[in-house]
Structure 1
């Protein structure tokens, strides 16, 4: 399984993904689920994936090859005129890859299914964030839905819903995401460290800070420990339930 979050802030985009893939408890591997493309000063793309590994790797490889071989005249992310057209290109590529592996056609229940989060900016337009479904359709983030999750989403969602603020700094957003990922990690063994994150600041048109948080990261251990203790203290501070006697 997977857990990925893409978040829109007033300052820009924050993207985080885990790296665990598994086909049973005895077959666990680490794979990068976050891919980026940029033409500094012109465009930036960040793409995260959840689902069948063969499908997502084929999608990423196809998109990457097209950026490096423009003479083939296949559609390329580096040539799309808008983020909407970029999302459409990624969606069509995903649909085509699934169809090539599944003779019944792309469906949400296909064993070759995958879901993607695409974020970025093209010069002349604002930063935009999309969630792309295996059927080849997609939706866009906005004020009412300022972040997307894919993969194992339910455990890490409550803290995002309660604590998200579009005005928060990148540093605070990363802290929030680490709490969300820690909650997911503790509840589901199919999500695991390391975690990758990528920042993008609005109108810079170049990728920002990127890093990997490993299992021995002291800050993550501090966040995990103190968040657990804070929850216990919050529970203790609430009034006890009164049973009728």
Structure 2
């Protein structure tokens, strides 16, 4: 399993993903689930993935293959697409096609393969946009009413986002929010694990302005986790019934 979350804010976008992939209790590996597509000054977007590793890796590989094709067009390449909406359409179509192909191969073994993705970015001349792409290739978009999207094991990390994240949340507070959301998930589900990948795209920067790999035992993350636990315990003790 995995957990990925993206915030769409007035100041920019914040993305966080874990890296744990497991195929059983004794087969746990680390794979990157955050991918950056960037032409600095012209466009920049991040893709985060959850679900079947074979589906997600093949989809990302095909997106890169289409970009490198000398006959690539705005209809086939995410780096040439005229809008972020078109980027989402290309990724959705690629994901759906890959999922169908792999599903056909696995059907004889009565196995299934599914995956979802978050796409967050901006193109020169356009606004920031963030999409959640479903396994079938269709998608929804983050809005002012719902300025965050999640994929994977999201239920444990959702409450804090519901309570604190608004479009006018600062990028500093947004990073804190996604990290505490991840911390709640790490504590409640062993299928989500370190290291973590954190990235920020500031509004109109058209590039990744901050990128960080957070390893297990990171002192800053540990201190934040402990402070959050203490704050929850203190708040709980103050509530009367």
Report the TM-score, using the length of structure 2 for normalisation. 0.94
Alpha-carbon displacement from aligned partner over 1:136-167 (angstroms, at most 9, x marks no partner):
10011111111000000100000010011322
CA distance in 1, matches of 2:8, 2:201: 10
1:27 aligned residue = 27
CA distance in 2, matches of 1:5, 1:191: 13
The Cα shift of 1:104 comes to 9.3
CA distance in 2, matches of 1:43, 1:59: 20
1:91 aligned residue = 92
Question: Structure 2: where are the runs of 5+ without partners?
Answer: none
Work out whether residues 43 and 123 of structure 1, in 8 Å CA contact, stay in contact via their aligned partners in 2: yes
The Cα shift of 1:229 comes to 1.1
The Cα shift of 1:25 comes to 1.1
1:4 aligned residue = 4
Work out whether residues 17 and 48 of structure 2, in 8 Å CA contact, stay in contact via their aligned partners in 1: yes
Aligned: 1:230 with 2:220: no
SS across alignment from 1:102:
helix
Larger Rg: 1
2:154 aligned residue = 153
Work out whether residues 70 and 76 of structure 1, in 8 Å CA contact, stay in contact via their aligned partners in 2: no
Aligned residues, how many? 237
Alpha-carbon displacement from aligned partner over 1:7-32 (angstroms, at most 9, x marks no partner):
01111110000000001110000000
CA distance in 1, matches of 2:51, 2:215: 22
1:66 aligned residue = 66
Work out whether residues 41 and 124 of structure 2, in 8 Å CA contact, stay in contact via their aligned partners in 1: yes
1:36 aligned residue = 36
1:77 aligned residue = 78
Work out whether residues 42 and 123 of structure 1, in 8 Å CA contact, stay in contact via their aligned partners in 2: yes
CA distance in 2, matches of 1:218, 1:165: 28
1:185 aligned residue = 186
Alpha-carbon displacement from aligned partner over 1:89-116 (angstroms, at most 9, x marks no partner):
00000000011112399xxxx7210000
Work out whether residues 144 and 166 of structure 2, in 8 Å CA contact, stay in contact via their aligned partners in 1: no
CA distance in 2, matches of 1:156, 1:7: 13
CA distance in 2, matches of 1:66, 1:104: 23
Work out whether residues 3 and 17 of structure 2, in 8 Å CA contact, stay in contact via their aligned partners in 1: yes
The Cα shift of 1:58 comes to 0.3
CA distance in 2, matches of 1:228, 1:38: 37
1:16 aligned residue = 16
CA distance in 1, matches of 2:47, 2:177: 20
Q: How does 1:100-119 map to 2 (within 5 A)?
A: 100-103=101-104, 111-119=112-120
